[in-house]
Chain A
Amino acid sequence: MKREQIKDMDSLQTSERHGMPRRDFFKILGGGIIIFFRPWRALDLNRMPAEQARGVPKDYNAFLRIAEDGTVTCYTGKIEMGQGIITSLPQMMADELNVPYDRIKIVMGDTDICPWDQGTWGSLSTRIFGQIMRTATAEARGVLLDLASAQLGVPVSQLEVKDGIVTDTKDSKKTVSYAQLAKGKRIEKFLDVKPSMEDYTKFKSIGKSYNRVDSNLKVTGEAKYSGDMKLPGMVFARILRPPSHAAKMTSVDYSGAEKIAGTKVVREGDLVAVINENCDLADQAIVKIKAEYSFNEVPVNDKTIYEFMLKADSNAKALNSTGDMDAGLKLCDKTFESEFHDPYLAHVAIETHTALAQLDGGKMTVWASTQSPFGLREGIMRELGLPAEEVRVITPFVGGGFGGKGEYQQGIEAAKLAKLTGKPVMLMWTRDEEFIYDTFHPAGVIKIKSGIDKAGLIKLWEYSVYYSGTRGADAIYDIPNTKFTHYSQKSDGPPVHQFGTGAWRAPNNNTNTFAREVQIDIMAAAAGTDPLEFRRKNLKDEHILDCLKAVADKFGYVPGKAPSGRGIGIACGADAGAWVAHMAEVKVDKSTGKVKVVRIACAQDMGLCVNPEGATIQMEGCITMGLGYTLSEEVLFEGGKILTHSLDAYDIPKFSWLPKIDTVILDRKDKPPQGGGEPAIIAIGAVVANAIFDATGARLYRMPMTPERVLEALKKV
């Protein structure tokens, strides 16, 4: 399709793109009361980072429905991938509507019946969407009360709601249920949602722990993921992949593959695939295809990438800086310069990217494991030249995302193959494909120059981040003279990252927090001050100070100057509107360099905590997952070829790694809820690095902290 056409299609379809044409709602959903809301004004978009504000829908499009039987259904473009919003969103709504929690249903990630959504990531579900949803629900309650008031002939102020039943406070015989109000009705209400920041303490359901609502389905094997869908006549596909990212196919011979029973080879441009009703036979056929490739020169590998980044002609952007660097330097008694390296990381969800696509009566329906059903729909529209109403994406349960399923290449591939073959096509990426076509956490370099005065106060902070992004790059400490520079890809320059990169749980922040918190530790040690005390002295942010206090209490921290030989580390940070502080204890085997994390404590302030149990699980998950990037995970590559493409070669945390984990959630009933799925991962690298220093005096500037690197660092002690 040509450029102009794309532009045209965009302008034509903006209204439909943001949801289903409204007239169809009742047709599809039946009667009752449907509430549409426009959340635009609810958000103080100026305070949101631009990349988040961009995707917030501006049209009336999110809605909930009160059916004629009184069931409340929330339709959301968000998806469930383990983070637990399938439990926490209905919880918020139950409170607002005064209905029992189990009467709330949630329909997720179906582009035909759910409102447009930018995607499920960035810990935004609770923080932003949850807020909007909750406020809209409160307004919906107002609508119901108005209806009840008219029906009962009683002013709204005289009504109260309990368990979905509206009662006249002056005459308890006068009642009407939500179900009765919705009965036989076809009411549409359009609301402009204003932020509501009322007293959270009155909520019944919020703040209570709930077990996951999807547990039963998931422990019995009944929960359906994309790969579990089945359609009559469905075939399995395998795609021919080049041997490296730098390869281009020059010739292909698929006569061998076609000899495998029931196999069909399909091709469109560079997309070559085999299909077979039998998955094993598709596997056998794909390896029979012979193809030749030409290779582009790739100038880097996993070792030289850092130097390559520093030398590259980058786009340098100054970020908010304060004070004056020269003046700051004069105030310093000691200065410190460090360079930190962080490699590419894979997401490694246990479910690989999977999609089933079917073209039926001109409509393309795709069931896909994606964090972005609407993004996938647009991708299919673009690549297959289809209008919005002819593409439907449905998102069953997603088997882990971590940012990696914000990309949805598999869905587009499956759709193309369904169109080419005229059959429903199931495409489950192999583990190799998953590793090779992942959008990695970007590698990066961070350089810090900092200084302290005689009193141990930080006076200077010069921070440069190369190619790994700026989330979490703020100093967080109270420093009068700071300078930040972000070096990134020049739009007209040769690509520095040789592969696709993208969001990886708490994107960029793991790298930035690692560098900052190690640098802080270096200064604390040089100042001869206990690292907790050093932080306290240089921090003004009360949220972090509170987290540090809470974690120190939980951990039973006894002050001591590092390296104390005890192997105890500290780190803290901020992410997605939440704050965290960690303490860890490690054991380092000085002969092998192997690090064992014995225990980790984490305190998190995430505003009002909607579901403490859910939040605790997320924190434990973050801590466990964080040990991977800290100790072992690294994508190795050479000449455009990914070398670590199996679960054998790329080591993720296992049971034996598990430290004792303690979590504390600071209860903030007065603050709006913030994202909780990511913050606790950000400081794991730093807290372990600082603990290694405390144990041995060895300083690590490079993740992951593998035995070889620890041995290397020990030599310098």
Chain B
Amino acid sequence: MEETIKFQLNGKQTEAVIDPTQTLLWVLRNHFGLTGTKFGCGMGFCGACTVLIDNEPVRSCQLSVGEAAGKNVITIEGLATKGKLHPVQKAFVEHDALQCGYCTPGMIMNATGLLIKNPTPSIQQIKDGMENNLCRCGAHMRIIEAVQTASKEMKGGK
């Protein structure tokens, strides 16, 4: 049952001897101790578990770890480089785009994926791209503003 699964995790080549059918979310949290990726529903409806796989925002509760084999997985812990916040993280702080913060990692990962694909999204495109990431505290307005700010800062950069 167990296999050696290899993938890039937050910039490092990683491997785990693990049952490949296990849910990526739980493997990230429980095997690798990366608890920034959150459980909100386990059914693909909330986006709290969003990570980037090959730069695509993906719901880690809907994926097995086997499906991540050979791919490049980035979690919220892997976003900041050398202690410097990623522009999206920075913008979330600046705009106070969070309250309880539980949806925040998923929001940031999803927004990052969105900006990689479309570095200059319109407000409507931001709304569309973020639509299925749920926030119960109602931080939506500031999240949109934060994504706009991040988009400006990232333009021309990466």
Contacts and interface: CB of A to CB of B under 8 A. Distances in A.
Interface residues of A, number: 58
A593 interface: no
Nearest to A282: B26
Contacts of A632: none
A350 B38 contact: yes
A624 interface: yes
A220 B34 CA distance: 11
A679 interface: no
B108 interface: yes
A646 B137 contact: no
Interface stretch (A223-231, A696-704, A708-716): A223-231
A220 B89 contact: yes
Contact of B142 (A401, A430, A620, A656): A620
A656 B77 contact: no
Given A212-B96, A620-B141, A654-B131, A223 B85 contact: no
B93 A658 contact: no
B136 A349 contact: yes
Interface centre among B34, B90, B102, B139 (most CB of A within 10 A): B102
Contacts of B6: none
Contacts of A253: none
A223 B139 CA distance: 18
Contacts of A162: none
> For chain B, what secondary structure do more than half of its interface residues adopt (helix, strand, loop), or is it mixed?
loop
Contacts of B99: 82-84, 400, 617-618, 621
B108 A82 contact: no
Nearest to A617: B96
A201 interface: no
Contacts of A217: 101
Given A219-B92, A220-B85, A351-B38, A617 B139 contact: yes
A175 B137 CA distance: 47
Nearest to A404: B136
A83 to B, nearest CB: 7
B105 interface: yes
A658 B142 CA distance: 11
Interface string B27-68: 001100111111111110110100000000000000000000
7 contacts: A211-B96, A215-B101, A219-B98, A230-B33, A620-B139, A652-B134, A652-B136
B36 A221 contact: yes
A220 B36 CA distance: 7
Given A212-B96, A350-B135, A656-B127, 7 more contacts: A216-B85, A278-B30, A280-B23, A350-B136, A352-B39, A399-B102, A430-B42
Contacts of B138: 620-625, 653
B17 interface: no
Interface in A66-102: 81-84
A609 B75 CA distance: 37
Interface centre among A81, A218, A397, A621 (most CB of B within 10 A): A218
Nearest to A87: B96
B13 interface: no
Nearest to B25: A279
B43 to A, nearest CB: 6
B61 to A, nearest CB: 10
A280 B40 contact: no
B22 A278 contact: yes
A397 B36 contact: no
B104 interface: yes
Interface in A340-359: 347-352
B127 A658 contact: yes
A678 to B, nearest CB: 12
Contacts of B105: 219, 221
A624 B132 CA distance: 15
B131 A221 contact: no
B73 interface: no
A625 B130 contact: no
Contacts of B48: 350
A648 B43 contact: yes
A350 B102 contact: yes
Contacts of B43: 431, 646-648
A647 B39 contact: no
A613 interface: yes
Given A220-B36, A647-B41, A655 B101 contact: no
Nearest to B143: A655
A222 interface: yes
B80 interface: yes
A661 interface: yes
A681 B150 CA distance: 30
Contacts of A401: 100
Given A82-B101, A279-B26, A624-B140, A219 B41 contact: no
B144 A658 contact: yes
Contact of B103 (A220, A350, A621): A350
A380 interface: no
B108 A280 contact: no
B76 interface: yes
A349 B108 contact: no
Given A350-B40, A428-B39, A431-B42, A219 B137 contact: no
Contacts of A652: 134, 136
A629 interface: no
Contacts of B37: 221
Contacts of A313: none
Contacts of A219: 76, 85, 89-90, 92-93, 98, 101, 104-105, 108
A658 B98 CA distance: 16
B102 to A, nearest CB: 3
A227 B39 contact: yes
B101 A397 contact: yes
A648 B34 CA distance: 27
A214 interface: yes
A402 interface: yes
Interface string B78-113: 011000010001101110101111111100100000
A398 interface: yes
Interface in A644-668: 646-648, 652-656, 658, 661
B47 to A, nearest CB: 9
A704 to B, nearest CB: 16
A663 B73 CA distance: 40
Nearest to A347: B136
Interface string B1-34: 0000000000000000001011100100110011
Contacts of A230: 30, 33, 35
A658 B143 CA distance: 11
Contact of B98 (A218, A221, A648): A218
Contact of A350 (B93, B131, B134): B134
Given A279-B26, A656-B127, A351 B100 contact: yes
A625 B103 CA distance: 15
A557 to B, nearest CB: 22
B98 to A, nearest CB: 5
Contacts of B30: 230, 278-279
